[in-house]
Amino acid sequence: MRQHHRTPRLLGTLLLVAAAGLSLSGAAPTAPAAPATPSTPTPLGRVVPAPASVDPGGSPYRVTRDTRIRVDDSRAVRAVGAYLADVLRPSTGYPLPVTAHGDGQIRLRLGGKGLGEEGYRLVSGRSGVTITAGRPAGLFHGVQTLRQLLPAAVEKNTVQSGPWPIAGGTVTDTPRYGYRGAMLDVSRHFFTVAQVERYIDELALYKVNKLHLHLSDDQGWRIALDSWPRLATHGGSTQVGGGPGGFYTKADYRRIVRYAASRYLEVVPEIDMPGHTNAALASYARLNCDGVAPPLYTGTEVGFSSLCVNKPVTYDFVDDVLRELAALTPGKYLHIGGDEAHSTSHADYVTFMDKVQPLVAKYGKKVIGWHQLTGATPAKGAIAQYWGLDDTDDAEKAQVARAAQNGTGIVLSPADRLYLD
């Protein structure tokens, strides 16, 4: 999984997709402004990612003890209002009641045109702030902009002195890219559910909408499945450098999926194959061509493992894994890996991908694979995730370009730029 012999921890790979038919324009970043002080509002344009349109002007609004959050009377909008109140109360010390009736100085409402599924409009002035969106996801993203416009101390967990100004003007924002993701590699190093939830909270602040969970690799298998229980209990029992490892029960995984959904992130689970599979091969001898299970692995080398492409049990295994994972995952995608399969011949790799991609469709999901998938025949509607380096072979780049020209979607995640250890 693209480590180049480095040890991963939190892998915050920001992904940009060249999504078919999506062409929403983003604004150029605004010029740096003088740092805001607690009494000076943060300039409207100082938001990450840069909004599509910023029109500053007018008096700021100040959040005070009397501020109320008015929401539309729907479950989704009330939930966004409650989320905002939960963020602001610890640092401000204000009650910030959320109400569907009466007045409110912070107003969250559905309506407006041209904002799409995730866009919003934030209007701030002396009397209050109104965030309008076509869908609840847009309101949620607008709330993240509101957070960023407040002084940084608003993120503290203890009461701060304030004041809490929000610059006057209008921000209108629709995302330039429909797929905005970050990966967390829980296979090399295991992270608890609480740690994953904290990561989700950080992603939400920057309007990331996909959480790519790398659930299996040579060093660990992190999801418990009924059909092959030793994958988790044995294959998940260690990690890079040794240590106890760990795995998610189905209940744990569902909790992560629910938490991500509450922050408008879709979970994209990855089971890397046919390479990066030592944890699975160590768990079940019959998955190996010679019927002998290798020992568990705690190093960082890549490319030495492979499922046995010519064994029927391999496809029984893959079918079971994808079936159970699809049933746990409400999102559209299953990621099947496919990178650094150096121990699999090209012919076997093509055979494997030709057999596995239809299994993803069988369970109602769309294929995502690392860009090496384009060396086989990507399924209709598949997405190839490009992680190439500056020195990636020209033939491989051309292979990816041809796949894109033939309709394969491309997610860009250049690994030499955005991996975090």
What tokens does 407 get? 């309709």
Tell how strand 120-125 and strand 366-370 pair up: unpaired
DSSP per residue, 179-230: -EEEEEETTTS---HHHHHHHHHHHHHTT--EEEEEEEETTEE-B--SSSTH
> What's residue 9's pLDDT?
27
- pLDDT of 168 > 60? The answer is yes
Q: What is the pTM of this model?
A: 0.91
> What's residue 391's pLDDT?
78
Can 117 be counted among the known catalytic residues?
A: no
CA dist 22 and 299 (Å) reads 41
The kind and range of the H/E element at 411 are: strand 409-412
**Could you tell me how far CA 223 lies from the centroid of its own chain?**
18
> What's residue 419's pLDDT?
62
Q: Between 8 and 175, name the one with better pLDDT.
A: 175
- pLDDT of 8 > 60? The answer is no
Q: Which CATH number fits domain 15-19+177-418: 3.40.50.1010, 3.40.50.620, 3.40.630.30, 3.20.20.80?
A: 3.20.20.80
Q: What is the mean pLDDT of residues 227-235?
A: 98
Tokens 């324009």 identify what position?
25
- pLDDT of 31 > 60? The answer is no
- pLDDT of 32 > 90? The answer is no
250-262 and 312-328 are packed helices; what angle lies between their axes, rounded to 10 degrees?
Answer: 50
> What's residue 418's pLDDT?
61
CA dist 305 and 344 (Å) reads 8
Q: What is the mean pLDDT of residues 132-161?
A: 97
Half-sphere exposure of 248 (CA within 13 A, CB side): 27
pLDDT by residue (tens digit) across 358-410?
A: 999 999 999 999 999 999 999 999 999 999 887 788 999 999 999 999 999 99
pLDDT by residue (tens digit) across 96-126?
A: 999 999 899 999 999 988 999 999 999 999 9
Alpha helices in 69-191 (DSSP H): 75-92, 136-149
Nearest Cα residue to 300 out of 220, 194, 403 = 220
Task: State which fold the 53-173 domain adopts.
Answer: Chitobiase; domain 2 (3.30.379)
CA dist 353 and 221 (Å) reads 21
- List every span in the chain annotated with CATH 3.20.20.80: 15-19+177-418
pLDDT by residue (tens digit) across 255-286?
A: 999 999 999 999 999 999 999 999 999 999 99
Q: What is the mean pLDDT of residues 148-154?
A: 97
Catalytic choice (118, 266, 324, 340):
340
- List every span in the chain annotated with CATH 3.30.379.10: 53-173
